[in-house]
Amino acid sequence: MPPGDDRERLVCPDCGYIAYDNPRIVVGSVVIGSDGRLLLCRRAIEPRQGFWTIPAGFMELNETAAAGAAREAWEEARANIAIDGLLAVYDIPRISQVQLIFRATLTSDTVSAGPESAAVAFYNWDDVPWDDLAFPSVHWALGHYRQSAGRPLAAPFTAPADTQVP
């Protein structure tokens, strides 16, 4: 346990470097088409290949959460989206994830399966394949979208690039 810390960490015995193992951040969106239907993607990869999900995935270094959500929508559904705001934050310590889910609209209804999706489709609420959703967080996100009447919780904020972080 490094001095001043409260948990065991991997520490290099030669140079003292501390290897911090931090949670992964997932970014995604509940995306709405111009006709009000929900965009879902059928996963072409594991985990949960063949099941339906919202466009989402791991945030990359040097990108904002909103930019990551937009990138994931493009990668999975070839969808160009406009982020309306933050819909939900899910802390999932069991798998060391924090998920930031946005509400978004399509800027064009032209979509197609990206490399991680076997198919993409639009669904009315009553037609969502509830038994074939890939993850609990997809259920949660769709439920929060419905409960919020589609209103985002907060607009995304990005600190200016020249902001000094202590």
Tens of pLDDT, residue by residue over 68-106, are: 999 999 999 999 999 999 999 999 988 999 999 999 999
3-class secondary structure, 113: coil
- Calpha distance 139→17 (Å, rounded): 41
Token readout for 17 is 């470097």
Q: Is 102 exposed, middle or buried (0-12, 13-18, 19+ CB in 10 A)?
A: buried
162 vs 89: which has the higher pLDDT? 89
- In which region does residue 105 sit, left (phi positive, over 0), alpha (psi from -120 to 50) or beta (all else)? beta
Residue 159 amino acid letter: A
pTM of the model as a whole: 0.86
- Calpha distance 68→99 (Å, rounded): 12
Domains of the chain: 23-147 (3.90.79.10)
Q: Can you tell me which residue has the tokens 């979509």?
A: 111
Q: In this predicted structure, what is the pLDDT of residue 151? A: 65
Q: Lowest mean pLDDT: which of 55-59, 113-117, 158-162? A: 158-162
pLDDT at 132 over 80: yes
Residue 165: which pLDDT band, with cuts at 50, 70 and 90? Answer: very low
- Calpha distance 103→76 (Å, rounded): 16
pLDDT tens digit sequence for 31-69: 999 999 999 999 999 999 999 999 999 999 999 999 999
- Calpha distance 142→25 (Å, rounded): 19
